[in-house]
Amino acid sequence: MLAAKEKRAEFERQALVHTDALYGAAYRLTRNARDAEDLVQDSLLRAYRFWDSFEQDSNCKAWLLRIVTNTFINEYQRKKRSREVLDAATAEQDATDGVLVQASASDRQSPERVLLERSVSDDVQRALDNLPDDFRTAVVLCDVQGLSYKEIAEIMQTPVGTVMSRLFRGRKLLAAALREFALAEGYVREEPTKHTEGDQKTIDLEAYRANRKEGQR
Amino acid sequence: MSLCQSIDTLAMAYLDDELVAEERRELELHLLDCAACKKHVDAERADLGLVRKALVAPPAPDLLKARIARALDLEEREHARAMRRTWLQWILPGSATIAAAAAIVMFVFVRPQAATTSAGSVAQEAVRQQSRSMPMEVQGASTGPWLREHFRPVEPPRFTEPGITLIGARLTSVAGHEAALLKYVVSVGDNQFTLTAVLIDGIRDGQLSGGQAIKVGERTLHVHDANGIPAITYVDSQGMGYTFAAERLSPQELLELVVSSDLIGRAQQGR
């Protein structure tokens, strides 16, 4: 109640201005508009509760993205798994209980929802679906949010080298999938990839730097 | 060592702008000479462009922004409720007067719609005084004596709870009446906020009335809304008007504070 108005104003000025960016990240992480909205709202509420612990002169966007990423990994994924289990159970129930099938099916699938889900499950979302979570997170933080390797390393709590190799492989897989979809739907005439896929390649900037130093001696 | 061997790493760091100036220069020179590496970097650049273009995400829907604002409002209200419980915990233990005040608090509640009743012009102006950031003319412990010397022979209202400190005062005027503005700092946990009391001399009956009238003992307090700031007015038997305001409090919280001040006890003794 006390500094409430000030806290709210400060939060709006520093944090809520990033709502669009956070939604962009959430949208690509969850691959679904509905879940993205929930994730952004949960994350911002959490950020508001912990606003006192935000160090005022650090990068607010990176701090918020860390909350979004952690919330996504910790809660959303778990929720999603349990929902899938629930959905499967409901489907089974529907199948065995003939009378109720019609009603419950229409409950869960309103026309708007069907439309919404269809419109967001585009090629990009399909391509992202096939990426391992860690790869997708690294790619989203770098290529949707423009964070540096170091910032991503801090958020994902891994060394910069790990970030680079996740990013490298994630991008390769994504680019290949996007080309495949584009090819299938006739957007591009031929496949321009001549370079080999990156699974066996080693991405290591530190080793390069160490060798380079060695070479200069 | 050859740059060609590390071209995967270098191309990536180069396109992500993660190379230091010297490394970048070295690579750029190399690309002028090495067609294979140049081709590799160009292909990587095309891939990166494809990925980044595909990943451009839509902005947050307006409805989501509204939902977030509402969720924050709820969170704030919940927090205020928790803080109010803290107030009551302060007030409950302690001396007999505090206990008496607490007893009053228990039975005096502001109706929610009271906050929508606008304050009269004198109260409005008194509350406006509090938001003007004018320097205090006196600070700290000498405020009481200063007030008696420069304003009127009155005692500044005192609050018996810890954490409410009179920090200073200045003279002012409200609707042509001589007045004194007293500033208090209230600390709850790590939070601090300002409470002001404006003492207005020569107030006639009814000049500070309006809002929701609340009887406390023989005295009547009025709870107003002064452009979104809760204010409580009270006029003593000598025609001295008091306007309390605190931007950060709800009307109920402000009322609890005012009722727990020595003003009420003094007023009852003064009869």
pLDDT of residue B104: 47
pLDDT value at position B83? 66
pLDDT for A121 equals: 45
**How far is Cα A74 from Cα A118, in angstroms, rounded to an integer?**
27
Looking at residue A148, its pLDDT comes to 93
With beta carbons under 8 A apart, name residues in chain A contacting B47: 171-172, 175, 193
* CA–CA dist B159, B131 (Å, integer): 21
pLDDT at A67: 92
Q: Is the pLDDT of residue B238 over 60?
A: yes
Distance, CA of B80 to CA of B73 (rounded, Å): 11
> Average of pLDDT values for A116-141?
76
Domains of chain B: 7-55 (no CATH), 64-268 (3.30.200.100)
CA B83 to chain A, closest CA, distance in angstroms equals: 7
The answer, for A112 touching chain B at a CB cutoff of 8 Å, is no
Higher-confidence position of A122 and B214: B214
Contact A1, B195 (CB under 8 A): no
Q: What is the pLDDT of residue B166?
A: 87
Taking residues B110-121, report their average pLDDT: 53
Average pLDDT, chain B: 79
Chain A nearest CA to B217, separation (Å) = 28
The dihedrals phi and psi of A18, each to the nearest 5 degrees, come to -95, 10
Q: Is the ipTM of this complex over 0.95?
A: no
| pLDDT at A212 > cutoff 90 | no
Scanning the structure block, which residue is given the tokens 């006890």?
Answer: B265
Instruction: Compute the count of residue pairs across chains A and B with CB atoms less than 8 Å apart.
Output: 143
Q: B233: which residues sit within 8 A by CB, 6+ positions away?
A: B119, B123, B126, B208, B209, B211, B221, B222, B224, B241, B242, B243, B244
Query: What does residue B231 show for φ and ψ, rounded to 5 degrees?
Result: -140, 145
* A41·B71 Cβ contact <8 A: yes
Q: What is the pLDDT of residue A166?
A: 94
Whether B42 contacts chain A with CB within 8 A: no
Quick one: pLDDT at residue A108? 45
Cβ of A23 within 8 Å of Cβ of B190? The answer is no
- Name which of A32-41, A98-107, B3-12 the model is least confident about: A98-107
The percent of residues above 90 in pLDDT, for chain A, comes to 35
pLDDT for A15 beyond 80: yes
Point out the least confidently predicted range of A65-69, B19-23, B133-137, B244-248: B133-137
- A187 reaches B (C-beta below 8 A): no
> Where do we find the tokens 């007999």?
B96
Which residues in chain B touch residue A19, judged by CB atoms under 8 angstroms apart?
Answer: 60, 64-65, 68
> How confident is the model over B10-19, as pLDDT tens digits?
999 999 999 9
Q: Is the pLDDT of residue B98 over 50?
A: no
What's the number of CA atoms in the CB half-sphere (13 Å) around residue A215?
A: 9
Mean predicted lDDT score pLDDT of chain A: 77
Q: Which residues of A77-90 are buried (b: 16+ CB within 10 A; e: fewer)?
A: eeeeeeeeeeeeee
Percent of chain B with pLDDT over 90: 24
Distance from CA of A100 to the nearest CA of B (A): 33
- Both tokens of B27, joined, read 């690579």
Min Cα separation A19/chain B (Å)? 7
Q: How confident is the model at residue A116 (pLDDT cuts 50, 70, 90)?
A: very low
Q: Does position A189 have pLDDT exceeding 60, yes or no?
A: no
Whole-model pTM above 0.90?
no
In this predicted structure, what is the pLDDT of residue B269? 45
Contact status, residue B167 vs residue B139, Cβ threshold 8 Å: yes
Interface contact B51-A178, CB threshold 8 A: yes
Residue appearing with tokens 């209230």? B186
Query: Which chain B residues touch A205 with a CB distance below 8 Å?
Result: 9, 13, 18
- B236 versus A95: the higher-pLDDT residue is B236
Neighbours of B70 (CB within 10 A): 11
Residue B219's pLDDT band (cuts 50, 70, 90): confident
Res A54 pLDDT > 70: yes
Residue B161 has a pLDDT of: 65
Residue A84 or residue B179, greater confidence = B179
In this predicted structure, the answer to whether residue B58 has a pLDDT above a threshold of 70 is yes
- Judge whether residue B78 has pLDDT over 90: no
Residue B165 has pLDDT above 70, yes or no: yes
Q: Which of B12, B76, B193 sits opposite A8 (nearest CB)?
A: B76
Q: Which has more confidence, B114 or A93? A: A93
Three-class secondary structure of residue B175 per DSSP: coil
Token look-up 């839509």 returns B58
Q: Which helix or strand (DSSP H or E) is residue B183 part of?
A: strand B177-188
For chain B, the helix, strand and coil percentages under 3-state DSSP, each to the nearest 5: 50, 25, 30
**Interval A80-101: pLDDT, tens:** 666 665 565 555 555 444 443 3
Q: Supply the pLDDT for residue A87.
A: 60
User: Token pair of B58, please?
Assistant: 């839509």
Per-residue pLDDT band at A136 (split at 50, 70, 90) = very high
pLDDT over threshold 80, residue A201? no
- Say whether pLDDT at A126 is over 50: yes
Question: Is A192 in Cβ contact with B46 (below 8 Å)?
Answer: yes
In this predicted structure, what is the pLDDT of residue B190? 67
pLDDT, mean of residues B212-240: 83
Query: Alpha-carbon distance A71 to A79, whole Å?
Result: 11
